[in-house]
Amino acid sequence: MLAPGKGRAVAYQALALAALVLAGWFLISNTAANLEARRIASGFGFLGREAGFEIGESFFLRYGAADSYWHALAIGLTNTLAVAAIGIVAATLLGFLIGLAHLARNALLRGIATAYVEFLRNVPLLVQLFFWYALITEGLPLPREALEPLPGFFLSNRGIFFPSFSGVPELQGFNFAGGAALSPEFAALLVGLATYTAAFIAEIVRAGILAVSRGQRDAAQAIGLARWQATRLVILPQALRAIVPPLTSQYLNLTKNSSLAVAIGYPDLVSIANTTINQTGQAIEGVTIIMAVFLTISLSISALMNWYNATIAIR
Protein backbone atom coordinates (compact mmCIF):
# COMPACT_ATOMS: atom_id res chain seq x y z
CA MET A 1 0.00 0.00 0.00
CA LEU A 2 1.31 3.43 -0.95
CA ALA A 3 1.98 6.05 1.68
CA PRO A 4 -0.41 9.06 1.58
CA GLY A 5 2.29 11.35 0.18
CA LYS A 6 3.31 8.92 -2.55
CA GLY A 7 -0.34 8.23 -3.39
CA ARG A 8 -0.99 11.92 -4.01
CA ALA A 9 2.17 12.18 -6.13
CA VAL A 10 1.08 9.24 -8.31
CA ALA A 11 -2.42 10.73 -8.63
CA TYR A 12 -1.01 14.12 -9.72
CA GLN A 13 1.24 12.47 -12.29
CA ALA A 14 -1.65 10.42 -13.64
CA LEU A 15 -3.79 13.55 -13.95
CA ALA A 16 -0.98 15.41 -15.71
CA LEU A 17 -0.49 12.51 -18.15
CA ALA A 18 -4.24 12.30 -18.81
CA ALA A 19 -4.39 16.05 -19.46
CA LEU A 20 -1.46 15.78 -21.87
CA VAL A 21 -3.05 12.90 -23.77
CA LEU A 22 -6.37 14.76 -23.91
CA ALA A 23 -4.71 17.91 -25.24
CA GLY A 24 -2.84 15.89 -27.87
CA TRP A 25 -6.03 14.12 -28.94
CA PHE A 26 -7.88 17.44 -29.20
CA LEU A 27 -5.16 19.03 -31.34
CA ILE A 28 -4.90 16.06 -33.69
CA SER A 29 -8.64 15.59 -34.11
CA ASN A 30 -9.27 19.32 -34.54
CA THR A 31 -6.50 19.59 -37.13
CA ALA A 32 -7.81 16.57 -39.04
CA ALA A 33 -11.35 18.02 -39.03
CA ASN A 34 -10.15 21.40 -40.30
CA LEU A 35 -8.11 19.79 -43.08
CA GLU A 36 -11.07 17.69 -44.15
CA ALA A 37 -13.42 20.69 -44.08
CA ARG A 38 -11.05 22.66 -46.31
CA ARG A 39 -10.39 19.64 -48.53
CA ILE A 40 -6.65 19.78 -47.89
CA ALA A 41 -4.88 16.42 -48.29
CA SER A 42 -2.68 15.21 -45.48
CA GLY A 43 0.32 12.90 -45.41
CA PHE A 44 3.70 12.91 -47.12
CA GLY A 45 2.63 11.46 -50.46
CA PHE A 46 3.20 14.84 -52.13
CA LEU A 47 6.98 14.40 -51.74
CA GLY A 48 7.08 12.08 -54.75
CA ARG A 49 5.38 14.57 -57.07
CA GLU A 50 7.20 16.83 -59.51
CA ALA A 51 8.38 20.03 -57.82
CA GLY A 52 8.13 22.25 -60.89
CA PHE A 53 10.41 25.04 -59.65
CA GLU A 54 14.08 25.80 -60.16
CA ILE A 55 16.71 26.19 -57.45
CA GLY A 56 19.43 28.73 -58.12
CA GLU A 57 22.23 27.04 -56.20
CA SER A 58 23.08 23.52 -55.08
CA PHE A 59 26.04 21.67 -53.59
CA PHE A 60 27.01 18.12 -54.58
CA LEU A 61 23.59 17.20 -56.06
CA ARG A 62 22.11 17.88 -59.48
CA TYR A 63 18.56 19.19 -59.67
CA GLY A 64 15.99 20.15 -62.28
CA ALA A 65 12.43 21.45 -62.12
CA ALA A 66 11.17 18.01 -63.20
CA ASP A 67 12.59 16.40 -60.05
CA SER A 68 10.46 15.56 -57.03
CA TYR A 69 9.85 17.56 -53.88
CA TRP A 70 12.01 15.00 -52.07
CA HIS A 71 14.90 15.95 -54.35
CA ALA A 72 14.27 19.66 -53.88
CA LEU A 73 14.28 19.31 -50.09
CA ALA A 74 17.49 17.27 -50.31
CA ILE A 75 19.09 20.18 -52.18
CA GLY A 76 17.94 22.52 -49.42
CA LEU A 77 19.40 20.19 -46.79
CA THR A 78 22.81 20.03 -48.50
CA ASN A 79 22.82 23.82 -48.87
CA THR A 80 22.07 24.19 -45.16
CA LEU A 81 24.74 21.68 -44.16
CA ALA A 82 27.31 23.34 -46.42
CA VAL A 83 26.89 26.83 -44.97
CA ALA A 84 26.66 25.48 -41.41
CA ALA A 85 29.79 23.33 -41.70
CA ILE A 86 31.93 26.04 -43.29
CA GLY A 87 30.47 28.65 -40.94
CA ILE A 88 31.34 26.60 -37.84
CA VAL A 89 34.97 26.23 -38.94
CA ALA A 90 35.28 29.92 -39.86
CA ALA A 91 33.56 31.14 -36.69
CA THR A 92 35.76 28.91 -34.52
CA LEU A 93 39.02 30.14 -36.05
CA LEU A 94 37.96 33.79 -35.99
CA GLY A 95 36.48 33.49 -32.49
CA PHE A 96 39.69 32.02 -31.05
CA LEU A 97 41.77 34.77 -32.67
CA ILE A 98 39.50 37.53 -31.35
CA GLY A 99 39.39 35.90 -27.91
CA LEU A 100 43.19 35.75 -27.72
CA ALA A 101 43.45 39.33 -28.99
CA HIS A 102 41.10 40.39 -26.18
CA LEU A 103 43.73 39.18 -23.71
CA ALA A 104 46.75 40.65 -25.54
CA ARG A 105 49.13 43.03 -23.82
CA ASN A 106 48.83 45.51 -26.69
CA ALA A 107 46.13 48.06 -25.79
CA LEU A 108 45.22 48.74 -29.43
CA LEU A 109 44.73 45.04 -30.16
CA ARG A 110 42.61 44.66 -27.05
CA GLY A 111 40.53 47.67 -28.02
CA ILE A 112 39.87 46.35 -31.53
CA ALA A 113 38.84 42.96 -30.14
CA THR A 114 36.55 44.58 -27.57
CA ALA A 115 34.92 46.81 -30.20
CA TYR A 116 34.39 43.82 -32.49
CA VAL A 117 32.71 41.76 -29.79
CA GLU A 118 30.52 44.53 -28.42
CA PHE A 119 29.39 45.76 -31.82
CA LEU A 120 28.57 42.44 -33.46
CA ARG A 121 26.92 40.91 -30.39
CA ASN A 122 24.53 43.84 -30.05
CA VAL A 123 23.40 44.22 -33.66
CA PRO A 124 20.66 41.78 -34.75
CA LEU A 125 21.95 39.04 -37.02
CA LEU A 126 19.25 39.68 -39.62
CA VAL A 127 20.41 43.29 -39.95
CA GLN A 128 23.99 42.09 -40.39
CA LEU A 129 22.91 39.69 -43.13
CA PHE A 130 21.19 42.54 -44.99
CA PHE A 131 24.37 44.62 -44.62
CA TRP A 132 26.68 41.94 -46.02
CA TYR A 133 24.30 41.17 -48.87
CA ALA A 134 24.05 44.84 -49.81
CA LEU A 135 27.82 45.24 -49.53
CA ILE A 136 28.46 42.34 -51.89
CA THR A 137 25.75 43.08 -54.47
CA GLU A 138 26.14 46.87 -54.49
CA GLY A 139 29.61 47.52 -53.09
CA LEU A 140 31.59 45.17 -55.30
CA PRO A 141 32.23 46.00 -58.97
CA LEU A 142 30.74 44.35 -62.06
CA PRO A 143 32.45 41.17 -63.36
CA ARG A 144 34.35 43.13 -66.03
CA GLU A 145 35.94 45.21 -63.26
CA ALA A 146 36.17 42.44 -60.67
CA LEU A 147 38.75 42.65 -57.90
CA GLU A 148 41.53 40.06 -57.99
CA PRO A 149 43.12 39.91 -54.51
CA LEU A 150 44.93 36.66 -55.43
CA PRO A 151 45.73 35.14 -58.83
CA GLY A 152 42.62 33.39 -60.09
CA PHE A 153 40.38 34.75 -57.28
CA PHE A 154 37.78 37.29 -58.41
CA LEU A 155 35.35 39.34 -56.32
CA SER A 156 32.35 40.89 -58.06
CA ASN A 157 28.71 41.63 -57.41
CA ARG A 158 27.90 38.31 -59.08
CA GLY A 159 29.76 36.39 -56.39
CA ILE A 160 33.20 35.04 -55.52
CA PHE A 161 35.01 32.99 -58.19
CA PHE A 162 38.10 30.86 -57.61
CA PRO A 163 40.00 27.96 -59.24
CA SER A 164 38.88 24.37 -58.78
CA PHE A 165 39.72 20.94 -60.13
CA SER A 166 37.44 21.63 -63.07
CA GLY A 167 39.45 24.64 -64.25
CA VAL A 168 40.15 28.31 -63.75
CA PRO A 169 37.48 31.02 -63.86
CA GLU A 170 37.64 33.24 -66.94
CA LEU A 171 35.55 36.25 -67.90
CA GLN A 172 33.16 35.33 -70.70
CA GLY A 173 30.59 37.91 -71.69
CA PHE A 174 28.95 39.44 -68.65
CA ASN A 175 30.12 36.87 -66.08
CA PHE A 176 32.84 34.35 -65.21
CA ALA A 177 32.85 30.77 -66.44
CA GLY A 178 34.82 27.80 -65.18
CA GLY A 179 36.23 27.12 -61.75
CA ALA A 180 34.09 27.28 -58.63
CA ALA A 181 31.89 30.10 -57.39
CA LEU A 182 30.06 31.27 -54.31
CA SER A 183 26.87 33.19 -54.95
CA PRO A 184 26.32 36.59 -53.29
CA GLU A 185 23.60 34.99 -51.15
CA PHE A 186 25.85 32.19 -49.92
CA ALA A 187 28.77 34.55 -49.32
CA ALA A 188 26.63 37.05 -47.37
CA LEU A 189 25.06 34.30 -45.25
CA LEU A 190 28.42 32.67 -44.54
CA VAL A 191 30.18 35.90 -43.59
CA GLY A 192 27.24 37.05 -41.47
CA LEU A 193 26.92 33.78 -39.56
CA ALA A 194 30.68 33.40 -39.05
CA THR A 195 31.41 36.94 -37.88
CA TYR A 196 28.35 37.11 -35.63
CA THR A 197 28.97 33.74 -33.95
CA ALA A 198 32.69 34.48 -33.65
CA ALA A 199 31.89 37.39 -31.33
CA PHE A 200 30.24 35.01 -28.86
CA ILE A 201 32.96 32.38 -29.26
CA ALA A 202 35.59 35.04 -28.52
CA GLU A 203 34.01 35.72 -25.13
CA ILE A 204 33.84 31.99 -24.40
CA VAL A 205 37.53 31.62 -25.24
CA ARG A 206 38.48 34.63 -23.13
CA ALA A 207 36.52 33.32 -20.14
CA GLY A 208 37.97 29.82 -20.55
CA ILE A 209 41.55 31.12 -20.58
CA LEU A 210 40.94 33.32 -17.55
CA ALA A 211 39.56 30.28 -15.72
CA VAL A 212 43.01 28.65 -15.83
CA SER A 213 44.94 29.51 -12.70
CA ARG A 214 47.73 32.08 -12.88
CA GLY A 215 50.14 29.51 -11.48
CA GLN A 216 49.95 27.48 -14.71
CA ARG A 217 51.14 30.45 -16.75
CA ASP A 218 53.87 31.24 -14.25
CA ALA A 219 55.05 27.63 -14.30
CA ALA A 220 55.19 27.64 -18.09
CA GLN A 221 57.27 30.81 -18.09
CA ALA A 222 59.52 29.38 -15.38
CA ILE A 223 60.58 26.49 -17.62
CA GLY A 224 61.43 28.89 -20.44
CA LEU A 225 58.33 28.80 -22.63
CA ALA A 226 57.52 31.95 -24.57
CA ARG A 227 54.13 33.56 -24.02
CA TRP A 228 52.64 32.09 -27.22
CA GLN A 229 54.11 28.68 -26.41
CA ALA A 230 52.64 28.79 -22.91
CA THR A 231 49.23 29.70 -24.35
CA ARG A 232 49.30 26.95 -27.00
CA LEU A 233 50.85 24.14 -24.97
CA VAL A 234 49.70 24.81 -21.39
CA ILE A 235 46.81 27.26 -21.14
CA LEU A 236 44.57 26.34 -24.10
CA PRO A 237 44.53 22.56 -23.47
CA GLN A 238 43.27 23.22 -19.94
CA ALA A 239 40.93 26.01 -21.00
CA LEU A 240 39.22 23.71 -23.53
CA ARG A 241 37.50 21.88 -20.68
CA ALA A 242 35.64 25.10 -19.87
CA ILE A 243 35.31 26.23 -23.49
CA VAL A 244 33.77 23.17 -25.17
CA PRO A 245 30.34 23.03 -23.43
CA PRO A 246 29.31 26.63 -24.24
CA LEU A 247 31.03 26.32 -27.63
CA THR A 248 28.57 23.54 -28.45
CA SER A 249 25.68 25.94 -27.87
CA GLN A 250 27.19 28.42 -30.33
CA TYR A 251 27.53 25.71 -32.98
CA LEU A 252 23.86 24.86 -32.50
CA ASN A 253 22.90 28.54 -32.68
CA LEU A 254 24.85 29.03 -35.92
CA THR A 255 23.17 26.03 -37.51
CA LYS A 256 19.69 27.17 -36.50
CA ASN A 257 20.40 30.78 -37.46
CA SER A 258 21.15 29.59 -41.00
CA SER A 259 17.37 29.47 -41.43
CA LEU A 260 17.50 33.27 -41.79
CA ALA A 261 18.86 32.59 -45.29
CA VAL A 262 15.32 32.96 -46.61
CA ALA A 263 15.61 36.72 -45.96
CA ILE A 264 18.38 37.16 -48.54
CA GLY A 265 17.27 34.56 -51.06
CA TYR A 266 19.69 31.71 -50.33
CA PRO A 267 17.93 28.38 -51.10
CA ASP A 268 18.39 26.58 -47.78
CA LEU A 269 16.08 23.93 -46.37
CA VAL A 270 13.64 26.45 -44.86
CA SER A 271 13.41 28.48 -48.07
CA ILE A 272 12.74 25.43 -50.25
CA ALA A 273 10.31 23.99 -47.70
CA ASN A 274 8.39 27.30 -47.73
CA THR A 275 8.14 27.12 -51.53
CA THR A 276 6.94 23.53 -51.24
CA ILE A 277 4.30 24.53 -48.68
CA ASN A 278 3.07 27.39 -50.87
CA GLN A 279 2.65 25.07 -53.86
CA THR A 280 1.14 22.05 -52.10
CA GLY A 281 -0.64 23.54 -49.10
CA GLN A 282 0.96 20.84 -46.90
CA ALA A 283 2.00 23.26 -44.16
CA ILE A 284 1.94 20.80 -41.26
CA GLU A 285 4.04 18.24 -43.12
CA GLY A 286 6.48 20.89 -44.37
CA VAL A 287 7.05 22.38 -40.94
CA THR A 288 7.36 18.89 -39.48
CA ILE A 289 10.15 18.11 -41.95
CA ILE A 290 11.97 21.33 -41.04
CA MET A 291 11.72 20.61 -37.31
CA ALA A 292 12.79 16.98 -37.71
CA VAL A 293 15.82 17.91 -39.81
CA PHE A 294 17.06 20.65 -37.48
CA LEU A 295 16.45 18.43 -34.45
CA THR A 296 18.52 15.67 -36.04
CA ILE A 297 21.35 18.05 -36.96
CA SER A 298 21.37 19.62 -33.49
CA LEU A 299 21.40 16.27 -31.71
CA SER A 300 24.21 15.07 -33.97
CA ILE A 301 26.33 18.15 -33.23
CA SER A 302 25.63 17.79 -29.50
CA ALA A 303 26.60 14.10 -29.55
CA LEU A 304 29.84 14.84 -31.39
CA MET A 305 30.80 17.69 -29.07
CA ASN A 306 29.87 15.68 -25.97
CA TRP A 307 32.11 12.86 -27.20
CA TYR A 308 34.96 15.33 -27.74
CA ASN A 309 34.36 16.89 -24.33
CA ALA A 310 34.58 13.45 -22.74
CA THR A 311 37.94 12.78 -24.44
CA ILE A 312 39.52 15.90 -22.93
CA ALA A 313 37.94 15.57 -19.48
CA ILE A 314 40.20 15.09 -16.49
CA ARG A 315 40.18 11.47 -15.31
Nearest Cα residue to 194 out of 97, 54, 59: 97
Q: How far apart are CA 89 and CA 175, in angstroms?
A: 30
Count of domains forming the chain: 1
Beta bridge partners of 167: 164
Closest Cα to residue 188, out of 251, 116, 260, 88? 260
Least confident span in 1-15, 131-145, 293-307 = 1-15
Examine residue 24 and state whether it is found in any structural domain, yes or no.
no
| Residue 91 parent element (H or E) | helix 69-102
**Stretch 23-28: mean pLDDT, rounded?**
75
Q: Give the residue among 291, 293, 265 at the shortest CA–CA distance from 189.
A: 265
Lowest mean pLDDT across 40-49, 110-119, 138-147, 149-158: 40-49
> Which domain covers residue 274, as residue numbers?
71-142+189-311
Lowest mean pLDDT segment, chosen from 103-112, 146-155, 170-179, 303-312: 170-179
Sign of CA dihedral 92, 94, 98, 104: positive
Among 122, 117, 110, which residue's Cα sits nearest to residue 95?
A: 117
Question: At 149, which amino acid appears?
Answer: P
pLDDT tens across 193-238, in order? 999 999 999 999 998 888 777 777 767 777 777 777 777 777 777 8
Whether residue 178 is contained in a domain is answered as no
Q: Is residue 225 part of a domain?
A: yes
- Per-residue pLDDT, averaged over 131-152, amounts to 86
CA distances from 84 to 55, 152, 190, 255 (A): 19, 26, 8, 5
Q: Is residue 163 part of a domain?
A: no
- Let me know if residue 253 belongs to a domain: yes
Q: What is the pLDDT of residues 282-299, one digit of tens each?
A: 888 889 899 999 999 999
CA–CA separation, 97 and 121 (whole Å): 16
Q: What is the pLDDT of residue 314?
A: 61
Examine residue 106 and state whether it is found in any structural domain, yes or no. Answer: yes
Q: What is the DSSP letter of 173?
A: T
Q: Is 27 within the bounds of a domain? A: no
State which amino acid sits at residue 73: L
**164 — pLDDT class (breaks 50, 70, 90):** confident
Q: What is the mean pLDDT of residues 24-29?
A: 74
Q: What is the mean pLDDT of the chain?
A: 85
Q: Do the bridges between strand 170-172 and strand 175-177 make them parallel or antiparallel, or are there none, so unpaired?
A: antiparallel
**Is 3 part of a structural domain of the chain?**
no
Give the CATH number for residue 247.
1.10.3720.10
What is the band of 309 on the pLDDT scale with cuts at 50, 70, 90? confident
